[in-house]
Amino acid sequence: DKGTYPFYMLKEIDEQPNVMRRLAQVYLSETGAPVVNDALLASMKKADRIYIVGAGTSYHAGLVGKRLFENLTQTPTEVHISSEFAYEQPILSEKPFFIFLSQSGETADSREVLVNVNAAGHESLTITNVQNSTLSREATYTMLLHAGPEIAVASTKAYTAQIALQAILAKALGEADKQIVAQRFDIRQQLGLVATGIQAIVDEKDKIEALVKQSFLKTPNAFYIGRGLDWGVSLEAALKLKEISYVQAEGFASGELKHGTIALIEEGTPVIGIITQSKTAGLTRSNLQETMARGAKIITIVSENLAKDSDDIVLADVDELMTPLISVVPTQLLAYYTSLLKGLDVDRPRNLAKSVTVE
């Protein structure tokens, strides 16, 4: 039931602070230590490499997961698009462990990979929102997202839940392995900060609606740019905009723009910069300047500690590994309002189904 909400998508965006708190309740002990199935941890500890597999938004959540696992556990981690992995399998390490990310647990492309993984006798974990879904039944282990039903075709709270759960798992695995970075990573505090940070963004919806009215309603295209984790979020932001507002959008590694794509920038083209990583903040800012010099309409989404007075959307500070959980939210709202104000069916965009059960 969407209650007083005009569309499920907006309701699901608004639910994200609660989803973060619920994950902390379900997966952390009273002292804030992760509570994760011992057999799963033992199996992951044996692995020399983690392979994360997913489609669409779930693949994008995996891009963040890679960074979490590599930073907190020092285990090399690869992320793959399921439909590619299924038929162009990379050379596997000696002891691979597979993580399947799937909101629905029914995505045919991901299942095709899991069938092969099972046939080869490898262990796997499905992270899903749907208990007893196909991918959950067929994997060795399951962790549930506890995000509540996601009805809108555009995935929002499942993405943030997938990232938060990967952070919990990476913390658990890193600690089990006595990794200092993991020991120091206060996951409970971080999830609390994230919940508050998301709340602050959803409380400022009017501001995002105003940005959409200014720059998004007439444009045929838009670019999201960033580096590192911000690039990963750019890909997700662009997918969301394409999917429900039919604006041709691209997520781009900001340093790569000048190697060709900048030719597409015209007077008024929206270029949204995501800036949450201190190492590369200055570089992305100068890439934004380059597009502005060619007429782009710039919008900035920036963590508070890196922000300037002129920035458009300022995000609460969290650990730099956790920033995608907050920075994605304004991009969800940008897509939502663009679709809404164009009079489109936000929850049921053309040509799409909630779960894609054909390859």
- Contacts of ligand M6R in 102-121 (CB under 6 A): 102-104, 107, 110
Smallest gap from Cβ 2 to ligand M6R, in A, equals 18
Shortest Cβ contact with ligand M6R: which residue? 56
Burial of residue 324, with CB atoms counted within 10 A of its CB: 0-12 exposed, 13-18 middle, 19 or more buried: buried
Query: What Rg, from alpha-carbon coordinates, does the chain have?
Result: 20
Binding status of residue 56 toward ligand M6R by CB under 6 A? yes
- The distance of closest approach from Cβ of residue 145 to ligand M6R in the complex, given in angstroms and rounded to an integer, is 10
Closest CA to 272 of 245, 300, 236: 300
Letters for 4-43 (x = contact with ligand M6R by CB under 6 A, - = none) are: ----------------------------------------
| Range 153-172, binding ligand M6R (CB under 6 A) | 153-155
Q: Report which residue type is found at 136.
A: S
Residue 126 contacts ligand M6R per CB under 6 A: no
- 354 labelled catalytic: yes
Query: Which of 227, 241, 309 has the alpha carbon at shortest distance from 274?
Result: 227
Query: Pick from 270, 64, 239: which is nearest to 156 by CA?
Result: 239
Work out whether strand 141-144 and strand 124-128 pair parallel, antiparallel, or are unpaired: parallel
Q: Which stretch binds ligand M6R (CB under 6 A): 96-104, 185-193, 301-309, 312-320?
A: 96-104
Give the total of residues touching ligand M6R (CB under 6 A).
16
CA distances from 290 to 22, 276, 286 (A): 42, 19, 6
**57, 77, 269, 332: which one binds ligand M6R (CB under 6 A):** 57
Q: Spell out, one character per residue from 232 to 271, where the chain touches ligand M6R: x when CB under 6 A holds, - when not.
A: -------x---x----------------------------
- In this complex, which beta carbon is closest to ligand M6R, that of residue 139 or of residue 182? 139
In degrees, to the nearest 5, what angle opens at C-alpha 120 toward C-alphas 116 and 125?
70
Report how far residue 216's alpha carbon sits from residue 49's, in angstroms, rounded to the nearest whole number.
Answer: 42
C-beta closer to ligand M6R: residue 116 or 196: 116
- The tokens for 4 are 């007083």
Neighbours of 204 (CB within 10 A): 15
Q: Are 52 and 78 in contact (CB under 8 A)?
A: yes
Confirm or reject binding of residue 83 to ligand M6R (CB under 6 A). no
Chain residues binding ligand M6R by CB under 6 A are: 55-58, 102-104, 107, 110, 153-155, 239, 243, 355-356
* Residues taking part in catalysis: 354
